């Protein structure tokens, strides 16, 4: 289930950090009901010893004006929010419509619009446009330090990792909702309009630098895996604002 949320600044233009993912994520958690917010934050949905939040959100759709380490937007900002768990989306939508105001970083805001989108019917391939960078990584030890290695869509292991990640997310959803688990599936991301020089993005989440990829791609594979990545994001770190995409309308 996917919605588009529009927020208006009560005191004028909205100013956020350049790397605003954590601020936007905090706004989302703060506008979920307390018990749901705490359960998602602390527990999530577990499968194979992994924990998934099963939601994602897009970059802010408007362009901000750079002011040193901040971005100044206009009086409104808009972003997409999505989850395969209907209760999560309905909960935040209901809370936002009831509140007189909320806090987005240092800005008092009010929700002026929520639009729901119908989930497309997916077959075995779809052309997609990224709404936030797609990231996938592995972690290894180097002199007792944990090091993250991020992959680009042109690297062979990229598709193996996004497939494994998507199967785990699908099965976390299936286990939570009483559906059959998926034993096998595959995904492949084929670049259509993607230049690693310009479409590789570096985003700080808290103090961690994350590398992701943007552009237009063809996503091929198992329809149920394509669907779960539409609802909860492609790749990892989805609840931190990575991996959201939309179909390209021809």
And the tokens for 71?
């971005």
Q: How confident is the model at residue 143 (pLDDT cuts 50, 70, 90)?
A: confident
Task: Choose among 133, 147, 151: nearest CA to 242.
Answer: 133
Query: How far is the CA of 115 from the CAs of 118, 172, 215, 219, 227, in angstroms?
Result: 10, 27, 25, 25, 20
In the chain, CATH 3.30.70.1900 covers 125-247
Which three-class secondary structure state does DSSP give residue 142? strand
CA distance 15 to 35: 29
- How high is the pLDDT of residue 48? 87
Question: What CATH number labels 125-247?
Answer: 3.30.70.1900
CB of 242 within 8 A of CB of 212?
yes
- What's CA 165's distance to the chain center, in Å? 14
Query: How far is the CA of 131 from the CAs of 61, 62, 69, 80, 139, in angstroms?
Result: 8, 12, 22, 8, 25
Q: Model-level pTM?
A: 0.95
Q: What is the 3-state secondary structure (H, E, C) of 169-201?
A: HHHHHHHHHCCCCCCCCCEEEEEEECCHHHHEE
Question: What CATH number labels 2-117?
Answer: 3.30.70.1890
Residue 149 predicted with pLDDT over 90: yes
CA distance 35 to 50: 21
Q: How confident is the model at residue 56 (pLDDT cuts 50, 70, 90)?
A: very high
Residue 144 predicted with pLDDT over 80: no
Which residues on neighbouring strands pair with residue 113, listed in sequence order? 6
Contacts of 215 (CB under 8 A, 6+ apart): 129, 130, 191, 192, 193, 194, 195, 199
Q: The dihedral of CA 39, 1, 107, 135: what is its sign?
A: positive
In the chain, CATH 3.30.70.1890 covers 2-117
Count the neighbouring beta carbons within 10 Å of the beta carbon of residue 205.
Answer: 16
CA distance 117 to 213: 25
CA distance 48 to 150: 22
CA distance 32 to 107: 18
For the stretch 173-189, pLDDT in tens is: 999 999 999 999 999 99
CA distance 93 to 18: 26
For the stretch 3-50, pLDDT in tens is: 999 999 999 999 999 999 999 999 999 999 999 999 999 999 999 889
CA distance 81 to 239: 10
CA distance 22 to 232: 17
Residue 228 predicted with pLDDT over 90: yes
Which three-class secondary structure state does DSSP give residue 250? coil
């Amino acid at each position: 289930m996917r919605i588009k949320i529009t927020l208006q600044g009560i005191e004028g233009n909205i100013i956020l950090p350049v790397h605003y993912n954590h601020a936007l994520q905090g706004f989302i958690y703060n506008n979920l009901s307390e018990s749901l917010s705490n359960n998602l934050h602390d527990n999530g949905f577990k499968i194979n010893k992994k924990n998934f939040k099963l939601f994602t959100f897009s970059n802010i759709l408007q362009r901000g004006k750079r002011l040193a380490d901040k971005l100044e937007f206009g009086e409104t900002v808009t972003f997409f929010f999505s989850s395969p768990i209907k209760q999560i989306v309905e909960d935040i939508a209901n809370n936002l419509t009831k509140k007189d105001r909320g806090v987005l970083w240092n800005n008092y805001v009010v929700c002026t619009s929520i639009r729901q989108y119908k989930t497309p019917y997916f077959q075995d391939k779809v052309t997609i446009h990224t709404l936030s960078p797609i990231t996938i990584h592995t972690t290894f030890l180097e002199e007792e330090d944990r090091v993250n290695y991020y992959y680009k869509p042109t690297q062979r292991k990229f598709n193996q990792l996004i497939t494994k990640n998507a199967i785990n997310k699908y099965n976390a959803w299936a286990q939570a909702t009483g559906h059959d688990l998926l034993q096998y599936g595959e995904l492949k991301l084929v670049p259509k309009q993607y230049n690693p020089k310009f479409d590789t993005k570096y985003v700080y989440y808290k103090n961690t630098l994350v590398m992701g990829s943007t552009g237009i791609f063809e996503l091929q594979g198992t329809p149920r895996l394509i669907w779960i990545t539409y609802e909860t994001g492609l790749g990892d770190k989805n609840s931190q604002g990575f991996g959201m995409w939309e179909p390209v309308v021809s």
